[in-house]
Amino acid sequence: MPRELPPTVVGEGPPLLCLHGGPGMSDYLGTLGDETAGWRRITYTQRGLPPSTLDGPFTVAQHVADAVAVLDALGVDETVVLGHSWGGFLASVLAMEHPERVRGLVLVDPLGIAGDGGFGRFEEQMLARTPESDRLRAEELDQRAMAGEGTEEDVVESLRLVWPAYFADPPSAPPMLPLRLSVPAYSEVLAEVVSMLAAGDLPGRAAAYGGPVEVVYGLGSPMPVEAAIETAHAFPQGSATGVPDAGHFPWLEVDECVTDALVRLAQRL
């Protein structure tokens, strides 16, 4: 196992590398549970938080290299990759950089790879769905984090304030997952992602990846549906499926939506 990025492996079957969202967030994809039945689910906390290394560099290239290092340590030559949110963006870049290692992609309500990735409207929707007093405090805390000045406690508080907005029906949102965040990993990687999207070359790079791609997104998510659809269209074998009554964490609201995406992908491998 890589000492810097110890993975967790659950289940039996073909390998499924799972990349969590953030960036700079602790791994939460164990909550997929039975959604990945029939697969050998590989998860790890991305660098910036224990049990992984706390050290940088906090760059997209380093995150891609980390994912490859995890596969190498497990002796996995080729895998399906599932990515959620920022992890969907990372999974897409991993497939562009190392297509020989990626049999196919399942992107779950991803940060997109076209335009601004949906990031602008995502932020607007998150704030619009949050009560004003909470919204103002969350904006203040997030601005501190993006300036590299906030603490982990600040970022977790901000996330807790906006947590219900991730869901299709915010008043019935489940309790927040026990998440941790790294301010340097969050702010430095996100700034680079914004620059990469502004460069505009990611859809062209995606066009060179020939594996099947299933994009599944919540129709009630604050992430605009265009982010998912445009990402799917950027891949020659991309397909997008919307999930009614689901938000940014669709599997927490609609059972088997990720299972169904994995079944569809398996039929195309």
Gap between the Cα atoms of 261 and 269, Å rounded = 13
Pick the CATH number of 8-118+183-266 from 1.10.3720.10, 3.40.50.2300, 3.40.140.10, 3.40.50.1820: 3.40.50.1820
Low-confidence ranges of the chain (pLDDT < 70): 1-3, 145-146, 148
Looking at residue 158, its pLDDT comes to 86
Looking at residue 2, its pLDDT comes to 61
Q: With H, G, I as helix, E, B as strand and everything else as coil, classify residue 134.
A: helix
- Kindly state the DSSP code that residue 181 receives in the 8-state scheme: B
Looking at residue 1, its pLDDT comes to 53
User: Sign of the CA dihedral 100, 228, 116, 166?
Assistant: negative
How is the chain split into domains, by residue range? Answer: 8-118+183-266, 120-172
Interacting residues of 130 by C-beta distance below 8 A, sequence separation 6+: 138, 161, 162, 164, 165
Looking at residue 136, its pLDDT comes to 86
- Kindly state the DSSP code that residue 148 receives in the 8-state scheme: T
pLDDT tens, position by position, 83-101? 999 999 999 999 999 999 9
pLDDT tens, position by position, 113-170? 999 999 999 999 998 999 988 888 888 887 776 676 777 888 888 889 999 999 999 9
